[in-house]
Amino acid sequence: MVDEKVKLSKANVLLIIVAGLASYMDAALLVSLGVALPIWTKYLALNSWMVGLLSTMLTVAVAIGSFVGGWLSDKFGRVAVFNADIFFVAIGSFIIAIAQNTTILIIGVVIAGLASGADLPTSLAVISERMSSKVYGRAISSTQIFWTMGILLSQFIGFITANSGMGSPAALFGWIGLVAIINWCVRVFSKRFKQIETDLVDHEHVDCASNGQSVKKYRLGQLLRTGGLLVPMILLTVFYLFWNLPANTWGSFVNYFLVTVDGRTQAYSTIVALIANIVCLLVNLIYLKVSDTRYRYRVMYLGIAVALLSFVTAGIFSDDWQIFTVVYIFYSGSTVLCGEALYKIWSQTFYPVDARATMTGFSYGLVRVLTAAFSLVTPTLMGYSPQLLLWIMVGCTVLFGACAVIIVAIIKKTGLKDPTMKTVSE
């Protein structure tokens, strides 16, 4: 039945928490870098070129990590690679925390970025192969809550250490390193946790075997030549790309936009960003309740509509900062309902178990590279024509919304395992 709800076990919850901390660390790294950039600019005498290079290097390192990490985890084992990812997030974060010159800083950023990128497709595969598809929505939307908490806590740490000079980056990245090393110790040294991971994956493999599914090893080239996988991968990548372009643009540059384009103060832009993130957290808590029910796609359509209306309104009234502030907060809430969580759920739905990390890593990495390229021109585009940028966001929303509709239709038509809907075969 569509609304038959499977309860998460204590073992499921523990696995979600430990895997969700990977999402927390990924978000914390990205936000902490943004918070630390003006401090490093002052104390390490960075020029504008080096500031842009650091930000771009982190994004590119995450992309490369995604490309390589997914393939490594399918080849050498998801648990082993996931543990290594977390360990190197800790190493990279500690290096950034103690960096007193640009060279050491770049080394830390590259190590942390590569490991952070690699752990996303790997963590998703670790979760999905140990859980029923009936709880994918709750499991993955729970990791999104960790992502939002990573943003909020990093902003809070940055706020309370704002007058501490180089002590602020040390606190920001030292905390990330501490969380990572504790997570790594639990995964590597806790016999209870290792037993839970083993028991859950064994149970899921028994389920797969009873359904006639066999475990195979795949090469990326082989996967890309498989029509049954290539078409979904293209759709998922296009969906995630055009959802991610607006999300990353405003996640990274909303403060810049409000201050330099709309003439608001730094304090005002910080408050707006904080309110938007709190709204995201609240919407995520609601989404957690409906993500595995028949309402999953109803709220998806609602999210797409709100995002589209927000950008159209902002485009029409592009000179009015009050209207932009309101629609930005509405848009931020909509991203939870129609974006990354669905991309992650669909990635586990369309791909075979032992190809998920490879396919997701390739897709995610490609999106990150293209997003980084767009980020390079975003400030210039904001200065040239804010209205043009907002209408580009409208176009992105139309494209990712269209892909979402097509993907849902394919799931329904092909009878793929989706507990939230009735398929044609039913």
Kindly state the average pLDDT of the residues 156-165.
84
379-408: pLDDT as tens digits: 888 888 889 999 999 999 999 999 999 999
For the whole model, what pTM was predicted?
A: 0.77
Other beta carbons less than 10 A from residue 76's beta carbon: 11
Kindly state the average pLDDT of the residues 333-338.
92
In whole angstroms, how far apart are CA 329 and each of 77, 111, 322, 334, 421?
Answer: 41, 34, 11, 9, 30
Kindly state the average pLDDT of the residues 308-322.
91
Residue 247 or 72, more confident: 247
Looking at the predicted structure, is the pLDDT value of residue 178 above 80? Answer: yes
In the block, residue with structure tokens 């609602």: 302
pLDDT value of residue 220 = 61
What gap in Å lies between CA 308 and CA 313, rounded to an integer?
9
Q: Which helix (H) or strand (E) holds 147?
A: helix 136-160
What gap in Å lies between CA 288 and CA 282, rounded to an integer?
10
pLDDT value of residue 15 = 77
Looking at the predicted structure, is the pLDDT value of residue 28 above 60? Answer: yes
What gap in Å lies between CA 320 and CA 327, rounded to an integer?
11
In the block, residue with structure tokens 């998920």: 356
| DSSP tag of 6 | P
Looking at the predicted structure, is the pLDDT value of residue 217 above 90? Answer: no
Kindly state the average pLDDT of the residues 145-166.
86
- 32, with CB counted inside 10 A (0-12, 13-18, 19+), is buried
Q: Where are the beta strands (DSSP E) in 207-308?
A: none
pLDDT value of residue 50 = 81
Phi and psi for 32 in degrees, rounded to 5? -60, -35
| Domains along the sequence of the chain with CATH | 10-414 (1.20.1250.20)
Other beta carbons less than 10 A from residue 298's beta carbon: 13
Q: Select from 403, 398, 389 the least CA-distant residue to 309.
A: 398
What gap in Å lies between CA 389 and CA 386, rounded to an integer?
5
62-99: pLDDT as tens digits: 888 888 877 787 677 777 888 899 999 999 999 999 99
What's the sign of the alpha-carbon dihedral 247, 252, 255, 260? negative
Looking at the predicted structure, is the pLDDT value of residue 132 above 90? Answer: no
Q: What is the mean pLDDT of the chain?
A: 83
Looking at the predicted structure, is the pLDDT value of residue 200 above 70? Answer: no
pLDDT value of residue 213 = 46
Q: Who's near 195: CB < 8 A, 6+ residues apart? A: none
What gap in Å lies between CA 95 and CA 115, rounded to an integer?
13
pLDDT band of 211, cuts 50, 70, 90? very low
